[in-house]
Structure 1
Amino acid sequence: MRSSLVDSSVIIEALKGNPVAKRLLQSIENDPKFINPIIFSEVPFVFLKLVTGKSYLTLRGNPEAIEKHRDKLEKVYLYLRDNFSELPLTEEIEEKAFEFILNYGLLPNDALILSTAKFYGLALVTPDVDFSFPASSEGIALITGDSFGETERVVQKD
Structure 2
Amino acid sequence: MNGVFIDSNVFLEFLKGEEKAKVLLEKYLGPEGCINDIVFSEVLFVYIKAETGRESYELKGRPELMKSVELDHIFELLGRYRMLDVGEVVASEAGDLIRKYGLLPNDALIAATPAGTTA
TM-score, normalised with respect to structure 1: 0.69
Q: Where does structure 2 lack aligned partners over 5 or more consecutive residues?
A: none
* Percentage of matched positions with identical amino acids: 37
Distance of 2:30 and 2:40 partners within structure 1: 21
State the Cα distance separating 1:111 from its structure 2 match: 0.5
Instruction: Look up the match of 1:155.
Output: none
Q: 1:39 to 1:30 in 2, by over 3 A?
A: closer
Q: Does residue 104 of structure 1 match 2:98?
A: no
Task: Tell me whether 1:124 sits opposite 2:103 in the alignment.
Answer: no
Q: Is the 8 A contact 2:48 2:66 kept in 1?
A: yes
Q: Name which of 66, 75, 78 aligns with 2:76.
A: 78
CA contact (8 A) 1:34 1:87 kept: yes
CA contact (8 A) 1:6 1:35 kept: yes
Residue in structure 2 matched with residue 22 of structure 1 by the alignment: 22
**What TM-score comes out, normalization by structure 2 length?**
0.90
Provide the C-alpha distance between the structure 1 equivalents of 2:47 and 2:59, rounded to a whole number of angstroms. Answer: 12
The number of aligned residues is 118
CA distance in 2, matches of 1:45, 1:124: 21
Q: Which has the higher contact order (CA 8 A, sep 6+)?
A: 2
Residues 4, 31 of structure 1: 8 Å contact kept? no
Unaligned regions of 5+ residues in structure 1, if any? 126-158
The answer on whether the counterparts of 2:38 and 2:106 sit within 8 Å (CA) in structure 1 is: yes
Note the alpha carbon deviations across 1:81-112, whole angstroms, 9 max, x for none: 1x111111110110000000010111110100
Question: Does the Cα contact within 8 Å between 1:44 and 1:76 map onto a contact in 2?
Answer: yes
CA contact (8 A) 1:40 1:80 kept: yes
SS in 1 for 2:95: helix
RMSD: 1.6
